[in-house]
Amino acid sequence: MTTFISFVIVLGVLIFIHELGHFLVAKLSGVGVEKFSLGFGPKIVGFTKGETEYRISLLPLGGYVKMVGESVGEEVSEEDKLRSFAHRPVSNRAAIVAAGPIMNLVLAAVLMPVIFMIGINIPAFLEKPSIIGYVVPNEPAFKAGLKKGDLIESIDGKKTANWEQVLASLALNPGKSIEVEALRDGQEIKTKITPDTSADTGAGTGGMYPPMPPVISEVSHGYPAEAAGIKPGDRILSIDGQPVGHWAELEDIIHKSGEKKTFSIGRDNGTLTIEVLPRYNPEARVYLVGISRKDEQTLKRYGFFESISKGLTTSVEMTTKLFVVLKGLVVGKYSLKTLGGPIMIAQVAGKAAASGLSDLLYLVAFLSLQLGIINLFPIPVLDGGHLLFFGIESVKGSPLSERFMTIAQQVGVVLLIGLMLLVTYNDLFRIFG
């Protein structure tokens, strides 16, 4: 029930804000609005005020604002032409259409600082002293001579009190040589490290990690670990006789080879030996057994101005990642199987609601940002498609033909239906496959 209610709330907020943008600008422009609907299909409840019917409809996967003279080929009386969408200047129509996705972007921008002020759950290690728990062989920290147990004291002369500051410094300096001061066995050491550039985000990475014990939090359904009998709470002691003291070591061993591996596991003060055959995952392009790390979380609240800064930074990161993923889908780096639909949103909304208000608001902001950006893409049916047609009309000096508009809308509908079928199939396959 929590999952369903959370899903309805999240989707309802996103749809309402989007359609409210269209509605308000239409009203301010003097365009008549016949219906304001949350959802499609048959009406569940509603009321009429003035010229507008406000309603909640059966299918909750969207909404619409029906304006006078909006539909292609719609007949409008002489007295209604002044209130007709189609008879407004191109700039006016474009403003009405663009208002929907812009409202989604505004919602995300407003929510982000609020989330940081309420407080967000962050990995507990971020606020702990920057003691290195593992150095990846042949990566920047290894090449700089840093070792497990070193305490990083400063980077480029700036004191580093915790891992959050260390990781931020590395992320902001991809490809640049930075000076690191560390404490090793009571002795001060100085070295220089040049962070690698992440292919996905463009941020700098150092190839060093805080202590992360190889304790399992979750076991994925249908994966080899579940079939082998591995359980949440198990601690991996060794793999094929090789001691494992850090989660990154565990990942490195599993990801590289599909050969059967012998796990030595600590459970309930005893030791078990379990054989597991990793499975190749074409999306991740590595071998997996289906386990995830146990991470301690802590709630952190930020001040007003820091929240605004954090909110802005996070919004930029979200936008960057969205385009990285879209590019990956186009060039084949990511599989279409990774796309999720309403069922996945419902599952994530349920988990976010169970985690707390800030996580639920974060999900709303994340989805609102995505909805706003994607809706501006120049694809028929989407708001961006209408804006493209208005641009062509402005250059051409006359409206596009009804036949062209009808065909474009039909193509858009087919693409949209195809996408919905794909993501629904992906959602169901993740559950039952």
Contact 239, 263 (CB under 8 A): yes
Question: Class of the 216-295 domain?
Answer: mainly beta
Taken in order 349, 352, 357, 363, the sign of the CA dihedral is negative
Contacts of 367 (CB under 8 A, 6+ apart): 10, 14, 345
Residue at token pair 């259409």: 97
At 399 the pLDDT is 81
**What are the backbone angles phi and psi of residue 204, rounded to the nearest 5°?**
-80, 140
Q: If we measure between CA atoms, which residue out of 319, 320, 315, 339 comes closest to residue 329?
A: 339
Which residues are registered as beta bridge partners of 48?
53
Q: Report the pLDDT value the prediction gives residue 252, as an integer from 0 to 100.
A: 87
DSSP classification of residue 260: -
Chain length of the chain: 433
Catalytic residue among 19, 79, 139, 317: 19
The DSSP code for 131 is: B
What type of residue is 236? I
Fold: same for 124-209 and 216-295: yes
Written as one string, the DSSP assignment of 382-425 is: SHHHHHHHHHHHHHHTSPPPHHHHHHHHHHHHHHHHHHHHHHHH
- Secondary-structure class of domain 124-209 per CATH: mainly beta
Walk along the chain (433 residues) in steps of 10 and give the mean pLDDT of each run. Answer: 81 92 93 91 91 89 86 68 84 93 94 92 88 92 93 92 90 90 92 86 86 91 90 92 90 88 91 92 84 85 92 87 82 76 79 82 92 90 90 86 83 84 79 67
d(CA 432, CA 47): 41
Cβ contact 11:350 at 8 Å: no
Domain ranges of the chain: 2-118+366-432, 124-209, 216-295
What pLDDT is stored for residue 73 in this prediction? Answer: 64
Q: Are 247 and 210 in contact (CB under 8 A)?
A: no
Work out the angle at residue 292's Cα, subtended by the Cα atoms of residues 321 and 280, and round it to the nearest 5 degrees: 80
Q: Active site includes 74?
A: no
Give dist(CA 68, CA 79) in Å, integer. Answer: 12
- How high is the pLDDT of residue 200? 67
Handedness of CA 420, 423, 429, 431 (dihedral sign): negative
Q: Which letter does DSSP use for residue 216 in this model? A: E
Residue with tokens 């309805």: 8
Query: pTM of the prediction?
Result: 0.77
